[in-house]
Amino acid sequence: MAGTNRQWILESRPTGEPTMDNFDLRESEIPEPDHGEVLVESRYLSVDPYMRGRMRDAESYAEPWDVGDVMQAGVVGDVVESNHPEFEEGDVATGNLRWAEYAVADGDDLQPVDPDLAPVSTALGVLGMPGRTAYFGTLEVAEPEPGDTVLVSGAAGAVGSVVGQISKLAGARVVGIAGADEKIDWLTEELGFDAGINYKEADNLYAAVGEACPDGVDAYFDNVGGEITDAAFAHLNVRARVAVCGQISLYNATERPMGPRKLAGLIETRARVEGLLVRDWAGRFGEATEQLAEWVQTGDVQYRETVTEGFENMPEAFLGLFDGVNIGKQLVEVE
């Protein structure tokens, strides 16, 4: 297929918070798929906090990008050419592809998207990696029970908003922490959270968590780390469960800040702290997608998407994650 393909390159490694100088938009020819491969034209691309870790030259659970590499992202797009038996032209597919308008992938690494199930963009959000992270992180790690108090940080994001709703379905009382009144209103007035804390307006986070969780915290789903997590740990109940999903407050730190030493408190509470990576449940992704789709269709789980229009605005959408501008899932729509 002849034509020009635009793609975003990691131009340099950021020190501290990334800037536009770390990205470069380049043009190349549209690639041709080999045997077993599929050419996908991007329709929606995902930007996610974990990508910040891939921009640094350090070991992490996700392999770092090299300077000069095309950056990678979850993508939903249209199959324009296929040499794989499971896909044909016109299908909608999703996979971990590139920050590019067109990308080639092994067909075995792609998943079909059913446009009749929900809007195709949800394959990158509530029915994709964030939704599955929330599903398994809540049910397998946080393990909410009827009557529990569940505290969620980053509660208005793609993961946290679903964590809270699943916890409500399990019979728990749910408190969400977010950084804007608009986000708190969404959580409490539309998603059914019982209370919310705007951490940017709280004079004392410890007191704010205590007021919102007067009976303590039975399960804490941590998406942010830092001072918010310090306050949450101070209110953990005996046998509480902590699901560590993200630490976005620390991703741009040039030096790791020293916070309170929390391990001694775990002796008294006998709380369990467990990190999670959604890939550990890869064999059960179908289960999660089926259940989440059912909840979305019945209205038991609601979602929002913040959509930035224009492929050329990929970096701005990514940088906005660290300013908390998005509500729900942040996506880029290719025009």
Domain boundaries, the chain: 4-125+304-333, 129-279
Q: What are phi and psi of 157, to 5 degrees?
A: -85, 180
Buried b or exposed e, range 39-53, using 16+ CB within 10 angstroms: bbbbbbbbbbbebbb
Q: pLDDT at residue 277 above 90?
A: yes
Q: Is the pLDDT of residue 31 over 90?
A: yes
The DSSP H or E segment spanning 76 is strand 72-82
CA dist., res. 235 & res. 206, Å (int): 8
User: How many other C-beta atoms lie within 10 A of the C-beta of residue 270?
Assistant: 11
- Split at pLDDT 50, 70, 90, the class of 57 is confident
CA distance 149 to 116: 36
Q: Which burial class, exposed, middle or buried, applies to 306 when counting CB atoms under 10 A from its CB (0-12, 13-18, 19+)?
A: middle
Instruction: Please report how the helices 205-212 and 226-233 are oriented relative to each other, as an axis angle in degrees rounded to 10.
Output: 50
Fold of 129-279: Rossmann fold (3.40.50)
93 touches 110 (CB < 8 A): yes
Q: What is the pLDDT of residue 94?
A: 98
User: What mean pLDDT do residues 46-57 have?
Assistant: 89
Judge contact between 36 and 52, C-beta under 8 A: no
**Tokens 């999670």 belong to which residue?**
276
With a cut of 70, say whether residue 320 has pLDDT above it: yes
Question: Residue 53 pLDDT more than 90?
Answer: no
- Which pLDDT score, from 0 to 100, does residue 114 have? 94
pLDDT digits (tens, 9 = 90+) for 244-263: 999 887 776 767 777 778 88
**For 4-125+304-333, which CATH class?**
alpha beta
Cα distance between residue 129 and residue 118, in whole Å: 15
- Please, which residues bridge with residue 305 across strands? 329
Residue length of the chain: 335
Which secondary structure element, helix H or strand E, spans residue 164, and what is its range? helix 160-169
pLDDT in tens, 139-173: 999 999 999 999 999 999 999 999 999 999 999 99
Given a cut of 90, whether residue 5 has pLDDT beyond it is yes
Tell me which of 47-61, 102-116, 180-194, 272-286 is least confident: 47-61
Give me the pLDDT at residue 82, please. Answer: 98
